Amino acid sequence: MMQHTKCQKCESENVVLVEYPITDPNHYDGWSEIDCQSCGARFGRWSGKELQEGESEVRKERVKK
């Protein structure tokens, strides 16, 4: 069972997982950021940091061993 995703800022569960379009340089096959519909905060999937207006989450590449 998947846990509910919460906003790191206001702890609301009213969030949207955002997948960037294929034309975006940071496109990933899956969601890249959490967008809180309650307080408007956005957080990156990999960095966990709050994203500023116009900023997108930089995709992390898988490291080959």
* Residue 8 per-residue DSSP state: T
What's residue 1's pLDDT?
40
CA trace torsion 21, 45, 51, 43 (10° rounding):
110
**Which tens digits make up the pLDDT trace of 19-60?**
999 999 999 999 999 999 999 999 999 999 999 999 999 977
Quote the distance between the C-alpha of residue 50 and its chain's center.
9
- Would you place residue 61 in the very low, low, confident or very high pLDDT band (cuts 50, 70, 90)? low
What's residue 63's pLDDT?
45
What's residue 59's pLDDT?
79
pLDDT above 90 (res 4): no
**What contacts 6, CB < 8 A, 6 or more positions away?**
12, 13, 15
| Model pTM above 0.95 | no
Instruction: For tokens 């509910």, name the residue.
Output: 4
